[in-house]
A and B are shown apart, each in its own frame.
Chain A
Amino acid sequence: MKPKAAAYTAISSLLLLLCFAWAISSGSVPVSMADITGFLLGKTGGSNYDIVMKIRLPRIIFAMLVGGMLAASGAMLQALLRNPLVDPFITGISSGAAFGAACAIIAGVSGLIMPSIAGALVTMYVVYRLSVAYGSLSVSRLLLIGVMIGSFFSSLIMMLNAIFSKDLVKVVFWLMGDLSNINPGLAMYGAVLTVVVLSMAIYFANDLNIMATGDDEARSLGVRVELMKVMYFIFAGVLTAVSVALSGVIGFVGLIIPHITRFFIGPDMRSMIPASFISGAAFLLCADTIARTVFLPSEIPVGVITGLIGVPVFIFLMNTRKDA
């Protein structure tokens, strides 16, 4: 990792630590840092133990995992599609994954991750195919089709909810994201899958760098472009799908974080993927803490916060980029 990337990653890690301290001590019941430190070091008992260790800590880990996955997935998609305006939400992949999970709930299938992955990959393939015009990928088509497909799947989820009157957890969970439904088993499974996918994605990331300069260039330099494209679409799809299965559709993390990260450390994906993961973890943890503490005792879906930040950022980026 280059010095600039290492410095950014160190600062992001420090921010993540500060967000962690803020998140674990904030909520309807204030808990002192001394108590929290004690609980984290193994001390048990006390009235706040369950609040910290059984409610807040799992949620914090959940938020960090989901934020990291979305940001890493967004970074990969942006490099793969050679456009910094795409993310799993805008391209409709998140909604496809949510639809896969919703179908699994209705069909009574146990385990949401695989149906989510299937939904994400099918959506990714459809969006990609429809976005290719005259033999090359049109980014404006991709963005439009992605938004349309995203709306289409959101409508289908609401329709399924109405027809089957099933408890799809909450429709708002799938549409706006929610980190309050913690399923530790699912999170553990997702974490293992994330470690495997991220390790592979970082290992092959230099080829993704070369592909970002053009397919013909990459082929000419010995990169197996078609294989790499399939691999990275699967990596991005799996990360998105796991995050959706855990927390519903949370938009814009995959757009904002890679953009900020690239601004500071440059486009080298070998550094971008881990640095985006850490920054994404810090960002979503921060957004979730705002979502659950600002309107106490009520809580708002975390997707509302990311949307409120993400939409202006997206518009700003679109207005400042010539290729948008």
Chain B
Amino acid sequence: MSVLQARDIGYSYGDKAFSLKGVSLSLEAGESAALIGPNGAGKTTLVKILAGLTRGYSGDVLLEGKKIGAYSDTKRASIVSYIPQTDNMTFEFSVREIVGMGRRPYINETGTLGKFDKEKVTEAINYFGLESKTHSSYNALSGGEKRMVLIARAFAQEAKLLIMDEPLTYLDVKNQSELMEHVLKLNNTGHTILMISHGINLAAEYVKRVVLMKDGRVEADGTPAEVIEEGVIRRVYGLENFYIENNKKTGKPNLFMIPGGQGQNQNIQKGESR
């Protein structure tokens, strides 16, 4: 069953510099997909529409078969969670306070957490290994820990669909790997994942499906092997100096750059003289 279905989505900003031009996309329950593409492709605009955060688009977004706009804000929030790129916050909320906000769809405006809600918050904190940081200020955490807190909040939110906007940005390799392991774990426990990523290789390794966008359109959509392919990458990114080779351990396609500038036709086909 489709958790999320986007049909012919069009969106235009005032200056028309960035827009979406008839994007259609469907996510099945339990699927994990990465949205990749050059800067300005419309990825963030698309995920915000899919998460029900942006209005004024043409076309339809169906969440569990029903138009997303037909849901109440809290009901929608109990199904889909959006994790933006957030660095520091203006005020010093603690980790527990931030994760506790994930229970908003299930409580009233006063924000009073019941026993069950408190247990869910504790469970989310423990699940992501944040026990020792429970009372720390969010702003005092490292970049990796901050992302983990936001994912823990989404976990406490109990949404089936997690939409993440570039969760790996500014993270070192270890943090990227840890975060993706947690994402994988969530996917394995039934969560549907859609994440924007500039890390093509990480996307290839951790998700089952890659959607490649350019200029407001979906250019390719399929398994990592189908999308991370030399012809597609060359056409979409305009790259010349790269090669693609399968990871020897996982068999997933990885993209490697060759220093020396573009346009020098230095592509090396798989298995060529290296």
Contacts and interface: CB of A to CB of B under 8 A. Distances in A.
B105 A221 contact: yes
Interface stretch (B58-66, B80-88, B193-201, B226-234): B80-88
B104 A210 contact: yes
A213 B86 contact: yes
A268 B113 CA distance: 14
B101 A209 contact: yes
B84 A216 contact: yes
B105 A266 contact: no
B53 interface: yes
Could you say which interface size class chain A belongs to?
Answer: 20 to 34
B92 A266 contact: yes
A204 B90 CA distance: 20
Contact of A323 (B74, B90, B92, B97): B90
A91 B110 CA distance: 28
B48 interface: yes
Contacts of A223: 73, 104
Contacts of A210: 101, 104
A226 to B, nearest CB: 10
Interface residues of B, number: 33
A287 interface: no
Nearest to B81: A220
A297 interface: no
Interface in A28-56: none
A241 B89 CA distance: 30
Contacts of A209: 93, 97, 101, 111
A267 B137 CA distance: 11
Interface in A223-256: 223-224
A82 interface: yes
Contact of A214 (B80, B81, B86): B86
Contact of A224 (B73, B75, B92, B157): B73
The 10 closest A-B pairs by CB, nearest first: A206-B111, A222-B77, A267-B91, A222-B74, A220-B82, A82-B90, A221-B104, A222-B105, A222-B73, A219-B53
